[in-house]
Amino acid sequence: MCLGIPAKVVEINHEGRKGKADFGGVSREVDLSLVDVKVGDYVIIHAGFAIELLDEEEAKESLALWQELLERCSDTGTRD
Amino acid sequence: MFRYRDEGLAQRIIERLKGLKLDLRLMHVCGTHQDTLVKFGLGPLLQAAGIEVRAGPGCPVCVTTAREIEEAMLLARMGKVVATFGDMFRVPGENQSLADVKAEGFDVRMVYSITDCVALAEKTARDVVFFSIGFETTAPTPASVILHTPPENFSILSAHRLIPPAMEALIQMGELRIDGFINPGHVSAIIGANAYEFISTRYQIPQVIAGFEPLDLLVAVYMLAIQACKGEAKVENEYARVVKPEGNEKAKRIMESVFEPFDLGWRGFPVITGSGLRLKEEFAAYDARKRYEDELSELSTEYQEPEGCKCGEILRGLVYPEDCPLFGTVCTPQHPVGPCMVSMEGCCNILFKYGKSRIGI
Ligand code: SF4
C-alpha cells in the first residue's frame, strides 16, 4: 500500500497538477498536485500521485555515507 | 538506478552488529519493510546478531475493521458503484468480502488510483463511492481530489489511519518490550522525521526512518543498535534521500485542510485516540458516511473476527503467522481467512509467498 516507486518527471500540464513520469522506460500519467516539481526531477510515485521528491545527490551519496557511518561507529563499545 | 544492494557492505554491518553483542527487539510498522525483510532473508541474519525485528500494524488493509468493510459492502448492495484498491477487494468483513458482493452481481471496481475512480464518476450518472484506505502516505491523495471539486455523484468512505498514534498505543498497551522502532519511509515522506519526536521523548525509545532496500533496513538497524549502545533515544533518518525533517509541507497542508483526526478502532486494537481521519464538516457532501447515514446506521457495531484467525495478535507483534494453526492449511492466499493473508503487505501473505520458515526472523 505505501509502496512508492521512483520515477522521473517528463511532462507537466494542467497548471502543474498533472503530468507524465518515466518509470525506467515506461511513461505514465501521474498527479503532481502534492509536490512542487520541474521536468527532470525524480519523484516517488504512490497510488498515481507524486508524494515527494527524490534527492538525487543524496541518493548517490547514500553508499558513501553508509561507509562513513560504519567507520565512525567502529569504536563504539557494547552496551555494558 | 542506484546501488543499494552491496553485499559486502551488508556483511560488514552484520559482523559489526555481532560485535556489539546485543539482545534487542525492534519493531517496524510497514508492510513494505516486512516484504524486504522476508524476501532478502534479513531476519535470520539479524537474529544471529542478537536482533529480532517484529512486524507491527503496518498493513493498512489488515487494520481496516470488519465494520468498515461491511459499510462498503452495504453501499455496493444498495446499488452504488464502490471502488477500492485491489488489496482490499478480497478482505473479509464478518463473513464475506467485496469480491463476494461483486460475484452477487453488484458493481465493485478495483482501481490503481483514486483518480481512476473520479474519472469513473465523471462518466456515469450513478453514485460512485471510493473506499479510501491507507496511512499518511495515501491520505493526501483523496484530500487533493476533494479540494479540486470532483463530480457531485462522487464520495469517499474514509478508513484512513495515522501511524504515530498507533505506535504510541503499542507502547502504552505494554504487551511487548520494544527496544526501537524502524519507522516507515513513505509515511515519513509526508509527515517528516519531526513528527515522531514525541515518542522518543515520552518513552525513551530510539527510532530510525528507513528506506526499502535491504541495505536501508540493515543500516537503520545498525543506527538503532548504536543508539541502544549509547543509551540514546532519538529520531534519526536513514532515508534522507526522500524524507525531510518537516516532511512534505504541501501534502500535509492539503491533508489537514480536508481531514481531521478522530478516535478510531483498528483491527486487533481497541480505539486509538486521534488515529483515524474523517472528512471535515465543510466537505460533508463528499463523505459517504454523511450521505448514506441512515442506511449505514442499520449496520451492527460489533463484529466477530474470523474464527481461529490470529491477525489481531500478529498486528500487535505478539505472534508469528506460523503460530496460527490455520496458516498454509485452511488459510492460503487462494482461500484467505483473515486480512493478513489477503494483503500483499500482510505478514501471512508475505511469509506464504516467500516460503520462509518465520516472518522477519
Ligand atoms: S494464517 Fe490466516 S487465519 Fe491465520 S492469522 Fe494469518 S490470516 Fe489469520
- ipTM at complex level: 0.91
pTM, whole model, 2 decimals?
Answer: 0.92
> Do A4 and B185 count as a contact with CB atoms less than 8 A apart?
yes
Both B277 and B216 in one domain: the answer is no
B99 and B232 co-located in one domain? no
Which cell goes with B87?
488489496
Residue-wise pLDDT tens digits, B182-193: 999 999 999 999
Q: What's the domain range around B322?
A: 311-354
B210 and B350 within one domain: no
> Could you tell me if residue B242 is inside a domain?
no
Looking at chain B, which residue has its C-alpha nearest residue A8?
B1
Place of cell 503499542: B170
If asked whether residues B104 and B231 sit together in one domain, one would say no
Domain contains B301: no
Same domain, B213 and B83: no
> How many domains does chain B fold into?
3
Using the beta-carbon criterion (under 8 Å), do A47 and B113 form an inter-chain contact?
yes
- The residue among B242, B249, B257 with the most chain A CBs within 10 A of its CB, best to mutate, is B242
Same structural domain, B141 and B171 = no
Does A24 touch chain B if contact means CB atoms closer than 8 Å?
yes
Co-location of B157 and B171 in the same domain: no
Under 8 Å between Cβ of B348 and B331: yes
B28 and B114 part of one domain? no
Task: Indicate if the pLDDT at residue A76 is higher than 70.
Answer: no
d(CA B327, CA B304): 19
- Taking contacts as CB-CB distances below 8 angstroms, the residues of chain B near A17 are 148
Mean pLDDT across the stretch B82-101? 93
B52 and B68: one domain? no
**B1: in domain:** no
| pLDDT at A22 > cutoff 70 | yes
* Residue A40 at interface with chain B, using a CB cutoff of 8 Å: no
In angstroms, the separation between the Cα of residue A39 and the nearest Cα of chain B is: 18
Instruction: Write out chain A residues lying below 8 Å of B138, CB-based.
Output: 1-2, 46-47
CA pair distance B335, B90, nearest whole angstrom? 10
Per-residue confidence (pLDDT) for residue A1, from 0 to 100: 56
CB nearest to A78's CB, from B12, B21, B184: B21
Q: Pick from A76, A78, A67, A68: which is nearest to B10 by CA?
A: A67
Residue A16 gets the label, from left (phi > 0), alpha (psi -120 to 50) or beta, of left
CATH number for position B17: 3.40.50.11750
Alpha helix ranges (H) inside A1-80: 56-72
Instruction: Decide if B224 is inside a domain.
Output: yes
A47 touching chain B per CB within 8 A: yes
Instruction: Based on the fold, state whether residues B69 and B191 are members of the same structural domain.
Output: no
Is B244 among the domain residues?
no
Residue B107 sits in the same domain as residue B47 = no
Q: How far is CA B308 from CA A63, B28, B263, B304, in A?
A: 45, 25, 28, 11
Each residue's pLDDT tens digit, B118-143: 999 999 999 999 999 999 999 999 99
Does residue B19 form part of some domain?
A: yes
